[in-house]
Amino acid sequence: MLINVETQKAVGEVKEALEEKAKERGFGVMSVHEVTKILESKGSPITYSCVIVEICQPKAASKVLTKNPYISTAMPCRVAIFEREGKTVLSTMAPTKMLEMFNEPELEGTAKEIEGIIKEILEESAK
């Protein structure tokens, strides 16, 4: 399941807002991938703007990785910001759905908490 939020703001403006809002909520920005620019530089351009921002909440990450190191394959949380049908979309995988793959039901509360915060970050970034 995806969490999607739409806005009329430009991709670059949303990226900056997302980085700021994530930091305000205790998340670190791990990396930013300028997908459109990267593909263009490799000779395989796309026709729209796309950026991926990787964010992580350190305490939650430590908790889930202490329980199961395989969860690291689904980390950090990746937020795609791209243009679609005249709008800018912020999209990420729902942590609760990703957790289901790892059969760790005792981490469900952490996944729900992080999912709620990420949804708020996306919504605030879109304003």
pLDDT for the residue 80:
98
CATH of domain 2-126: 3.30.310.70
The full set of domain ranges for the chain reads 2-126
Average pLDDT value for the chain:
97
Determine the length of the chain.
Answer: 127
Cα(125)–Cα(14) distance, integer angstroms: 6
Q: Is cis: bond before 76, omega within 30 of 0?
A: yes
pLDDT for the residue 107:
96
- For 62-111, the pLDDT digits (tens) are 999 999 999 999 999 999 999 999 999 999 999 999 999 999 999 999 99
Cα(112)–Cα(124) distance, integer angstroms: 18
